[in-house]
Amino acid sequence: MGMGLIILRTAIIFIALLVVMRLMGKRQIGEMQPFEIVITLLIAELACIPMADSSIPLLYGIVSIVTIFLLHQLMLLIDLGFKPFQAIVGGKPSVVINKDGIDISQLKKNHLDLADLIESMRTAGMFSLDEAAYALYESNGQFSVMPREDSPKEQKVSLPVLIIDDGKFDNHNLALTGTSEDFFEKILQERGVRSIRRVFVLTLDGTGKIYLQCKGERYTTFRIRLPEESVW
């Protein structure tokens, strides 16, 4: 197969893809439903086959791409008109933070960890877990966070850091704050928490504010006096 023919076949497939993707809409990857991502990957794979193998008629690749596009349009119509189908294919939003704090079961169900949740809140402009009244993990993989009405508006002097993550100390952040496991174990014992394994999350900021949530319990916030040797 000559180089000119390869270039021509590639150009034709490129134009066909451009037209199909333009017709599919302007949504970014992060805004797509799962079935839309699958369709996009299928179209990309189908486009490669006729470009790489000259024995396959170019028309076959274009017909396959158009067929996938038509299936996409059909699924969109069903998705809009039949709500149960929407829940099955696209999924439902999950409430990962509610009035009691973090919903551990929803985090695990969606294969999320605390780092994902904290990062999403920072993106929403909230740097402390107790600033959120509710947080939803949307079906497209994005987070939506609703702030608490009584959330304090004062300027933060430092970012909260994760000290205990699902029953385990974060040694890097202990070193960062100049604190120790013994320091926090004593604080937990004063709060009636005898085992670190009970703690799902504990964060600390530079003002001494702690966000604490034990497994199966409502979260609480309180302030402590930081040790003099703390560099936080």
Q: What is the pLDDT of residue 90?
A: 61
Question: How many other C-beta atoms are found inside a 10 Å radius of the C-beta of residue 201?
Answer: 23
Is 229 part of any domain? no
| Amino acid sitting at position 93 | P
Q: Are residues 219 and 165 in the same domain?
A: yes
Residues 64 and 106 in one domain: no
- Same domain (yes/no): 35, 60: yes
Mean pLDDT, the chain, integer: 80
Q: Which are the contacts of 148, defined by CB distance < 8 A and separation ≥ 6? A: 130, 131, 132, 133
Burial classification of residue 202, based on how many CB atoms lie within 10 Å of its CB (0-12 exposed, 13-18 middle, 19 or more buried): buried
**Three-class SS of residue 178?**
coil
**Cα 151 to Cα 133: distance, rounded to the nearest angstrom:** 9
Please state the rounded mean pLDDT for residues 169-185: 92
- Shared-domain flag, residues 109 and 71: no
Higher pLDDT, 81 or 191: 191
Phi, psi of 183 (to 5 degrees): -60, -45
| CA separation for the pair 188, 194 (Å, rounded) | 7
Average pLDDT over residues 121-141: 86
Q: What is the CATH number of the domain that holds 126?
A: 3.30.240.20
Q: Are residues 102 and 177 in the same domain?
A: yes
Question: Which tokens in the block code for residue 188?
Answer: 């937990």
Reference 203, options 154, 169, 175; nearest CA is 169
When mean pLDDT is compared across 198-202, 221-225, 226-230, the lowest value belongs to 226-230
106 is in which domain, residue-wise?
94-223
Instruction: List phi, psi (to 5°) of 147.
Output: -70, 155
- Give how many domains the chain has, as a whole number: 2
19 inside domain: yes
Is residue 181 pLDDT above 80, yes or no? yes
Share above pLDDT 70 across residues of the chain, in percent, rounded to a whole number: 75
| Cα 29 to Cα 34: distance, rounded to the nearest angstrom | 10
Sheet holding 132-137, edge to edge: 101-102, 94-98, 132-137, 143-147
Give the 3-state secondary structure of 149-164: CCCCCCCCCCCCEEEE
Residues 119 and 215 in one domain: yes
